[in-house]
């Protein structure tokens, strides 16, 4: 599933520039920041190309995406501390008992500032989807 990555790709100067930029950057750039940076080298590159390559690189696992977004937000009226399990198959969000990550003193010491909050999210396949999958596999 993830090994035949060389399925069909061409290394273009645009893609290479994006890869280089990401390899060098420590700032977790947005698409726009990548666009701005790469444009210094390739003034004619288009934003669409940046997005297409980011999609491609994320799909290949060469780059990680850190979603922060505002789109597709979900809202939770339950204010009691609890964690969430996200089904990667159907998108459902399940409440699970509060998970309190215990931060080691060493880890705390490595924080680049004052820690106010932490959140552990869980990802997987929910029971419903597992059941459906079983049918597929049979």
Partner DNA sequence: TTAATTGCAAACCCTTTGCTTCATC
Partner DNA sequence: GATGAAGCAAAGGGTTTGCAATTAA
User: For residue 49, what are its two tokens?
Assistant: 């190309």
Number of residues that bind DNA (CB under 7 A): 28
Residue 25 interacts with, from DNA, a second copy, none (CB under 5-8 Å by kind): a second copy
Q: Among residues 25 and 107, whose Cβ is nearest to DNA?
A: 25
Please check whether residue 136 is in contact with residue 95, taking contact to mean a CB–CB distance below 8 angstroms.
no
HSE (side-chain half, CA atoms, 13 Å) at 12: 13
Q: Is 41 in the site for a second copy (CB under 8 A)?
A: no
β-strand partners of 84: 95, 121
Options 48-56, 98-106, 116-124, 127-135: segment touching DNA (CB under 7 A): 48-56
Question: In angstroms, rounded to a whole number, what is the distance separating the alpha carbons of residues 54 and 56?
Answer: 5
Q: Among residues 9 and 82, whose Cβ is nearest to DNA?
A: 9
As a whole number of Å, the CA-based R_g of the chain is 20
Q: Give the interface with DNA as residue ranges (CB under 7 A).
A: 8-15, 30-32, 42, 44-49, 51-56, 70-73
């Amino acid at each position: 599933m993830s090994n035949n990555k060389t399925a069909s790709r061409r290394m273009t100067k645009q893609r290479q520039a994006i890869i280089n930029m990401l390899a060098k950057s420590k700032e977790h750039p947005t698409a726009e920041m990548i666009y701005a940076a790469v444009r210094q080298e390739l003034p004619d590159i288009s934003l669409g190309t940046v997005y297409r390559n980011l999609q491609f690189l994320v799909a290949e696992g060469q780059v990680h995406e850190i979603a922060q977004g505002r789109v597709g937000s979900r809202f939770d009226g339950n204010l009691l501390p609890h964690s969430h399990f996200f089904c990667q198959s159907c998108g459902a969000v399940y409440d699970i008992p509060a998970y309190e990550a215990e931060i080691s003193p060493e880890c705390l010491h490595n924080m680049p500032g004052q820690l106010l909050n932490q959140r552990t999210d869980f990802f997987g396949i929910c029971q419903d989807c597992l059941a459906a999958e079983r049918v597929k596999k049979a």
